[in-house]
Structure 1
Amino acid sequence: MTALLRYQTALLLRSYRWLAPLLLYAAFLAIGLTAGPQPLLDSLGWNAAALLPAAAWLVRVCVTGEPPAARAVVAAAAGPARAHTAALLAALGCSALTGVVGTGLVLWVADPHTTDHLKAVPVGPAAVSGVLTVLVSALLGTAVGALTNPPVLLRPGWAVPVTTGAAVAVLVAGGSPANAAVRDLVTALHTGRVPYPLLSLLAAAVLAAGAVAVAGLLSSRGR
């Protein structure tokens, strides 16, 4: 699996198709950061929310970017399920790394105080919370991408609108782990108490694992 991950990651980086989801993420992040110094916890929540649709798009880049001949060779050598899982994990790793870099940028430019500027927010715990929330978004974005692209969704024309709609739904749905993690960060900007979205992270990991398993199973059946 390590060799497959290296292969898929190298394929992604050399294709430059990662540029579009990265620009989408950067654009959303810039909207939240260019209006002057914003409260730290609010900005960390915005950063995580911006990552989720980009992570879903990055999955599509990974699972559709391999030439058919190369895909057939890799599937024959390692098995279609393992090959597809490696593509999904490569997308997840790149998404998580992007979100962590964005978290660092937010820590650099945001105001580490509550919204009324009366309480200081501890930067270290806020950084940990921001990274955990980013992981929640990366996992759920990967889950969305896995379920809205081949081999689950075979019609290319439906992939973009379905992926977009699913990513938005995951962000705004009240029972979503991403919504809960981001909401807790945004709410905490009034109190300065840093939340740790451990339950949301666990739920996101379970959902992502299930989505990856379903996609891998369908790829092994030749869907």
Structure 2
Amino acid sequence: MTTRPFHHGNLRAVLLEQAESMLRTTGTDGLSLRELARQAGVSHGAPRSHFIDRQALLDALAERGFDRLTRAVRSALDGAASARVGFDRVAEAYVDFAIEDAALMELMFAAKTSARPGAVQDAAGRLFGALDDTMGPSGPDADETGRDTFKMLFGATMQGIAALVASGRIARAQGDVLVSEAMAMLLDSELGGRVVTRH
């Protein structure tokens, strides 16, 4: 029997750590509450006290991922003297996360687009709020549609580059060059000039 290195009060955190480890090795297809219980060394019914079903576990993992990425983005932005410096740092943090936790990133955005509960949506909103802060304040006449488009372009571009690196299609150094060039193009574009207000 596996030693149980936790008290009942932190079983949820232990299960999420174990589930995230499983996600990295097996993807979402290999995640089940029964297998999670086995690997965590608890009774097969124990995870259901925290996750009513498998989807609740996936949602909790997605929420956790969004919160971790949001912290990384805010940390990268801290002290940046300009929008360009800020976005360069944020882009690097975003790509680092997307490479190191590729399966989690995929789960996060699959969860966001599936009409899943508010906690996941709220966590995704916090991430896009952090990206909004990177762009600078928006005034009463701000082009919110343009700002949303810029954030989506940023996310899609960085995740695409990260996917190329994670799959071995390009080297990380080449990915870093692509990130730098992509940020220059986005920030120097008509859209970037119109919606990025941080100087």
TM-score range, shorter chain: 0.3 to 0.5
TM-score by length of 2: 0.45
Ranked by relative contact order (alpha carbons within 8 Å, sequence separation 6 or more), the top structure is: 1
Larger radius of gyration: 2
TM-score by length of 1: 0.41
